[in-house]
Amino acid sequence: MILKGSQRGGGKALALHLLNAEQNEHVEIAEVRGFMAESVSGAFKEAQALASGTRCQQYLFSVSLSPPETENVRPEVFEGAIAAIETKLGLEGQPRVVVFHEKEGRRHAHAVWSRIDAETMTAKQLSFFKSKLRDVSKALYLENGWKMPRGLMDSKERDPRNFTLDEWQQAKRVGLNTADLRGMVQECWAVSDSRDAFGKALEERGLHLAKGDRRGHVVVSYEGEVFALSRLIDKRAKEVTAKLGKPDDLRSVEDTKAHIAAAIAPRLGGYITEARRIARAAMQPLNDQRQAMQQHHADERRKLDEGQKQRWEAETKLRAGRLRGGVMGLWDRVTGDYQKAKGQNEREAFFALQRDREQRQALVAAQLAERRVLQERIRQTRARHAEQILALHKQAANYRLMSDVRQQRGSERGTTRGEFTRQAEGRSQTAERPQGRDRGSRGPGLER
């Protein structure tokens, strides 16, 4: 599975992200360990309070664990991965929180540790944690027989379409899938051999090349969101400048937004609004089905949890009844019956726990499979309407290009007419001058 880690502060914001039930269809708090508090937000407040006694600002270490999209990963695999991370990074025994998220038919986990050692009041050093996480990730792919991504085998071939949280939020405001947005820009970069060609290819996709505030190249969307070009295509700023030249003569971000508002929005605004309205109407039945499925799945899990809890309580009561008290209990200890009954209870409790976990895992796997079928329909619908909006942007770009060509030709015609007039005047003057010179040259001869 892919492991992404970061050292960070902001426990309150992280807790809100982990518990966000709007962006995630199912949120499950699997573990809150080593804290006095029992809630995620309370645990992070406790970690922050402990860190206030040190100089550490990034008192939390957060790791996301994303297994392959089509794999139904058992909880034991996640637990083993988290244990391996702890061992590799020296976080054994540190307080931690584990939360599971499910969205669009995929299940992943987040593990967050407190970096503060309560005994020494120092922060755990996490040097080279990215390379260490990559080593753990490779081992997990090999152990579980998953197909390893090419980028994990060779960092030069890693997927460049991964987004930061801020970029993901920007792409969401634009209304595009994060990977699709990066994919479009990278496609434009690959097929373009000049800045003009690159700019035209971007404009056909509703994007515009501009000069950023820091004198770098940026991409401005039709909606006014600004993305750093070097991050979108995963290139260094020097590589971008080498191909596109310096951005000094490009429009600024504000000028680009004004250009979009003045030249492009009037032509496209109504059409895109209508296309998006149609897309929303087409997506509404699928969204309703998704919400109904989400509620149904949640009800099934709640019913299973309640049933397992009642069964566990009944079985616990039955096991407790085998251990007699008083004089008979003392006699059982003398005869060894107590140890036999205790051993039987422990074995039954272990197998009951395994049984409950198997039942829940089977239910989650079945629900994920059902959700993936619906997600494929949603993905196809989104792609179909995204193509329509993309076609509108392409038509607008071609229309602007034709307008520019007409203006250029008109300018050239005006220039040609002026040059023709000046040349004609020059020819008439040239024709008159030799006659004057001939008369002048012959005059003296005639006199002689």
Asked whether residue 18 is assigned to any structural domain, the reply reads: yes
Write out the two tokens for 286.
Answer: 């699928």
Give the pLDDT score at 397. Answer: 62
Spatial separation of the C-alpha atoms in residues 61 and 125, rounded to whole Å: 11
Q: Three-state SS across the chain?
A: CEEEEEEECCHHHHHHHHCCCCCCCEEEEEEEECCCCCCHHHHHHHHHHHHCCCCCCCCEEEEEEECCCCCCCCHHHHHHHHHHHHHHHCCCCCCEEEEEEEECCEEEEEEEEECEECCCCEECCCCCHHHHHHHHHHHHHHHHCCCCCHHHHCHHHCCCCCCCHHHHHHHHHHCCCHHHHHHHHHHHHHHCCCHHHHHHHHHCCCEEEEECCCCCEEEEECCCCEEEHHHHHCCCHHHHHHHHCCHHHCCEHHHHHHHHHHHHHHHHHHHHHHHHHHHHHHHHHHHHHHHHHHHHHHHHHHHHHHHHHHHHHHHHHHHHHCCCCHHHHHHHHHHCHHHHHHHHHHHHHHHHHHHHHHHHHHHHHHHHHHHHHHHHHHHHHHHHHHHHHHHHHHHHHHHHHHHHHHHHHHHHHHHHHHHHHHHHHHHHHHHHHHHHHHHHHHHHHHHC
Asked whether residue 442 is assigned to any structural domain, the reply reads: no
* Other Cβ atoms within 10 Å of 25 Cβ, number: 21
In this structure, the answer to whether residues 127 and 18 fall within a common structural domain is: yes
Give the pLDDT score at 256. Answer: 86
Structurally, the chain folds into a number of domains equal to 3
End-of-domain residue from the set 387, 402, 417: 402
Residuewise pLDDT in 10s, the chain (448 residues):
889 999 999 999 999 999 998 888 999 999 999 999 999 999 999 999 999 988 899 999 999 999 988 788 898 999 999 999 999 999 999 999 999 999 888 999 999 999 999 889 999 999 899 989 999 999 998 888 888 776 665 444 444 444 454 544 544 554 555 667 777 888 888 888 888 888 888 887 778 899 887 768 988 887 778 888 888 888 888 888 888 888 888 888 888 888 777 766 666 666 667 777 777 888 889 989 999 999 999 999 999 999 999 999 999 999 999 888 888 888 888 888 889 999 999 999 999 999 999 999 999 999 999 999 999 988 888 877 777 777 766 666 655 554 554 555 555 555 444 554 455 445 444 444 444 444 443 333 333 3
In this structure, the answer to whether residues 29 and 143 fall within a common structural domain is: yes
Spatial separation of the C-alpha atoms in residues 259 and 263, rounded to whole Å: 6
Asked whether residue 146 is assigned to any structural domain, the reply reads: yes
Asked whether residue 275 is assigned to any structural domain, the reply reads: yes
Give the pLDDT score at 350. Answer: 93
In this structure, the answer to whether residues 134 and 234 fall within a common structural domain is: no
Give the pLDDT score at 61. Answer: 94
Spatial separation of the C-alpha atoms in residues 197 and 367, rounded to whole Å: 47
Spatial separation of the C-alpha atoms in residues 108 and 102, rounded to whole Å: 7
End-of-domain residue from the set 157, 178, 204: 157
In this structure, the answer to whether residues 11 and 133 fall within a common structural domain is: yes
In this structure, the answer to whether residues 145 and 286 fall within a common structural domain is: no
In this structure, the answer to whether residues 51 and 133 fall within a common structural domain is: yes
In this structure, the answer to whether residues 49 and 151 fall within a common structural domain is: yes
In this structure, the answer to whether residues 138 and 201 fall within a common structural domain is: no
Give the pLDDT score at 438. Answer: 42
Give the pLDDT score at 248. Answer: 84
Asked whether residue 173 is assigned to any structural domain, the reply reads: yes
Asked whether residue 429 is assigned to any structural domain, the reply reads: no
Asked whether residue 256 is assigned to any structural domain, the reply reads: no
In this structure, the answer to whether residues 277 and 194 fall within a common structural domain is: no
- Judge contact between 85 and 25, C-beta under 8 A: no
In this structure, the answer to whether residues 73 and 121 fall within a common structural domain is: yes
Give the pLDDT score at 16. Answer: 92
In this structure, the answer to whether residues 125 and 223 fall within a common structural domain is: no
End-of-domain residue from the set 126, 157, 188: 157
In this structure, the answer to whether residues 118 and 80 fall within a common structural domain is: yes
- C-alpha dihedral sign at 320, 321, 322, 326: positive
Give the pLDDT score at 230. Answer: 85
The b-or-e profile of 266-304 (16+ CB within 10 A means b, else e) is eebeebbeebeeebeeeeeebeeebeebbeebeeebeeb
Provide the whole-model pTM: 0.65
Spatial separation of the C-alpha atoms in residues 430 and 248, rounded to whole Å: 47
CATH of the domain at 26: 3.30.930.30
Residues contacting 357, CB < 8 A, separation 6+ = 75
Asked whether residue 443 is assigned to any structural domain, the reply reads: no
| Residue 131, domain extent | 2-157
